[in-house]
Structure 1
């Protein structure tokens, strides 16, 4: 069998590439023992990983800001080529190149039947919902690897219609596993539509994806807020307005400078629980962005919250933050009749239509997020640069399949 390697969390601030067993068509012991399912997985496939991306959610683990144990495998953004298929896989064959939603879903439970694949009931005994290579998400091996197993393949995989076209556009298509649908979900659930004015908090890859999605949905003005100048410049590169949150002045004043009024029609939190306050050198204030979006969203607005919030944060600023209990001004949101959408993006609701947008040339998500390919061996360097605020989306290319 081929060798297999995977990126592994080795302690706060440190990842490495380690050798692991080649995947089998079997479910993780955690799932088998916790849910009483059969070990064998004839419904699964083995993928040769074409691309796997470094995500900001991975960085929370690598910074030591979750309960992830040392040895946790990493990688939930996966695109791959089918190299082995179980006997029960009917609609995928060897050689197919497919996108893998980061949500692992059985396709059979009540939540899956309702389209809520981010909270599948049959893939994680700890809580609804699972993902590859993530703490408390079912024990599934990560996809920042040479090879990975994908269960319930007929339900989960999105096959690209043409192999050559897929490889030509792979830096765009690789974003379908997570950040493009997640950003789109943030903008869509915030109610972005033709002519909307939109504020996106955070110019990391998900924030940039949300900004590009807002443009595709017809927004008249998209404003992106961040403290990292390189990331703000990246947002401006595809037509967004920006506000520098490290500068003096309130967010409402900054919005007013752009729009002539201090409120927007829709707002997206693409930051999550490691948010900081405003101003140069501001300290961590985990509820900052949630309170910001309520402050600057008009009455009756919707708020999309794809930014990650956790139930366990060893590095939280106080005992409340360590269990995900934050100082959110819910009274403000109530008074303004705001609507909130939180949680994992149900990728399958969006990935096929977004694939069509990419293949037609309408969506240019790789350019928007500054997709940058690196080898699997360069993953530790990519994590370090990303953690220092690089305005790039790092795409791992384990087998050299990404065109130059």
Structure 2
């Protein structure tokens, strides 16, 4: 078989669908591929026919030109697919299996992986711990917003769905297992959400909505979602969240007080990251806003889950410090309140099997919560534009027209 089509970052504000190489079980040279990874043999890997692959807010950071991503980078780290070719060293995954791919690439052999910290695998990225498909400075593993993709370390990483027919009926939910659902869930778990908790979620984009739904699954009594976008707040309200519009009223603590009778919550989750804006009608970009505000509104002894992306290189930042990830954070406030901070990539494999069972049993309704919207591969460039404008949808690409 030869030929492939993929969504490619071309320049700031622009993606294209291009013809590209059919994947091989060798990591070849290309845009963003670390030179030390070129020629890496992956007989432990598989080739997938992509069934669904999602557009993520993390992709949008690159497309906006807010990272050092090179032109020509094939995008996409949220991948679900059917195995059509297996490497020589793959023992348990078989052709025909329908699988979810964790966005973290992990070898299963290093100290981090053995301790279930697959988000910081030591063997897949020559520059630093941790890797991902189709993402800048992550080792150069080719992205999955494409018709076909190669996935290494298949036996360790892949989550096989137990029944293909049942899985295809719930594919818009199950496609969220590669990243967004575990990421939102990890944010809620990291924030210490438990039955009876009051929770503030900063950001009503797809990850924020996933975190809010996860907090509900964990038994939170009240989940409050804050954003500047009224359409996204309406989506949060549609599945039972309280909401605060920070464009209309920048007093976060005051709005929380009106809802709870107290200006503080037990737990808070940052689902915004480094492109955060200040609050109020005349807001501008202020990257430390969310971190400082969640410290303000979280009770003493509470925890802060921070799945929102923060980077070490942002060429479009508002000041020189922010360009290298140095933000003006009120760390003294967090120290004084004995806050616990949990940051970094989500270790997807800690959660994805349990969340799969929650979906298959009908307990979790993640596609509904994030407003999953199916599109074709050709529709991807417009979907990126719509997502950048703030529409309240989670775009799911169906490259082969396989989803009913």
Q: Which residue of 2 aligns with 1:401?
A: 402
SS class of match (1:243)? strand
Q: Secondary structure at the match of 1:198?
A: strand
Structure 1 partner of 2:341: 340
Secondary structure of the equivalent of 1:331? helix
2-side partners of 1:347 and 1:12: how far apart?
29
Residue 390 (structure 1) aligns with: 391
Query: Match of 1:27?
Result: 27
Aligned-pair CA distance for 1:71: 1.0
- Decide whether the 8 Å contact of 2:2 with 2:21 is kept in 1: no
Conserved 8 A contact 1:66-1:312: yes
Matches within 5 A, 1:111-122: 111-122=112-123
Q: Which residue of 2 aligns with 1:132?
A: 133
Distance in 2, matches of 1:351 and 1:151, equals: 18
CA contact (8 A) 2:28 2:39 kept: no
Quote how far apart the aligned CAs of 1:38 are. 6.8
Q: CA deviation at 1:72?
A: 1.3
Counterpart residue number, 1:161? 162
**Structure 2 counterparts to residues 142-221 of structure 1, below 5 A:** 142-221=143-222
Distance 1:46 1:369 in 2: 29
Q: Secondary structure at the match of 1:180?
A: helix
2:98 corresponds in structure 1 to: 97
**Could you tell me how far apart the structure 1 residues matched to 2:369 and 2:156 are?**
29
Specify every segment of 5 or more residues in structure 1 that has no aligned partner in the other structure, as ranges.
Answer: none
Rate the CA distance shift 1:359–1:275 in 2: closer, same or farther, 3 A. same
Q: For the residues of structure 1 that align with 2:291 and 2:392, how far apart are their CA atoms?
A: 23
CA contact (8 A) 1:31 1:123 kept: no
Residues 34 and 125 in structure 1, CA contact (< 8 A), matched pair in contact too: yes
Q: Secondary structure at the match of 1:129?
A: coil
Aligned counterparts of 1:131 and 1:110: Cα–Cα separation in 2? 18
Q: Residues 46-85 of structure 1: matches in 2 within 5 Å?
A: 46-85=47-86
- Check the 8 A contact 2:34/2:139 in 1, yes or no: no
The question of whether the paired residues in 2 share the 8 Å contact of 1:252 and 1:262 is answered with: yes
Task: State the 1:42 CA deviation.
Answer: 1.1
Instruction: Provide the secondary structure at the position in 2 that maps to 1:368.
Output: helix
Q: SS of the residue aligned with 1:215?
A: helix
User: Which residue of structure 1 aligns with residue 14 of structure 2?
Assistant: 14
| Alignment CA distance shift 1:276-1:339 (3 Å) | same
CA shift digits 1:113-167 (9 cap, x unpaired): 0101011011011111110000000111110000000000001100000000010
Shift of 1:3: 2.4
- Whole-angstrom CA distance in 2 between matches of 1:253 and 1:285: 20
Report the CA distance between 1:2 and its aligned residue. 4.1
Contact 1:99 1:157 in 2 (8 A): yes
CA shift for structure 1 position 39: 2.9
Question: What is the correspondence of 1:220-235 to structure 2 with a 5 Å cutoff?
Answer: 220-235=221-236
The runs of 5 or more residues in structure 2 that have no matched partner are none
The offset of 1:280, in angstroms, is 1.4
Superposed displacement of residue 248, structure 1: 2.7
* 1:41, distance to aligned residue in structure 2 (A): 1.5
Q: Following the alignment from structure 1 to structure 2, what is the Cα–Cα distance between the partners of residues 228 and 8?
A: 28
Q: Is the 8 A contact 1:28 1:140 kept in 2?
A: no
Contact 1:32 1:39 in 2 (8 A): no
CA contact 2:183–2:348 (8 Å) conserved in 1: yes
Distance 2:357 2:39 in 1: 36
Normalising by the residue count of structure 1, what TM-score does the alignment of the two structures yield? 0.98
Structure 1 vs Structure 2 CA RMSD: 1.2
TM-score (normalised: structure 2): 0.98
- CA distance change for structure 1 residues 22 and 378 in 2, over 3 Å: closer, same or farther? same
Q: Which residue of 2 aligns with 1:356?
A: 357
Q: Secondary structure at the match of 2:199?
A: strand
Quick one: structure 1 residues 32 and 306, their matched pair in 2 at CA, closer, same or farther if it must change by over 3 Å?
Answer: closer
Match of 2:22, SS state, is coil
Shift of 1:344: 0.1
State the distance in 1 between where 2:42 and 2:250 align.
56
The DSSP-based 3-state class of the residue aligned with 1:298 is strand
- How far apart are 1:87 and its partner, in Å? 1.3
Q: Distance in 2 between matches of 1:389 and 1:359?
A: 30
Structure 1 runs of 4+ with >3 Å offset: 28-33
| Secondary structure of the structure 2 residue equivalent to 1:274 | coil
Q: Is the Cα contact below 8 Å between 1:31 and 1:125 reproduced in 2?
A: no
Structure 2: distance between partners of 1:26 and 1:315: 34
Cα distance, 1:69 vs structure 2: 1.0
Question: What secondary structure does 2:320 align onto?
Answer: coil
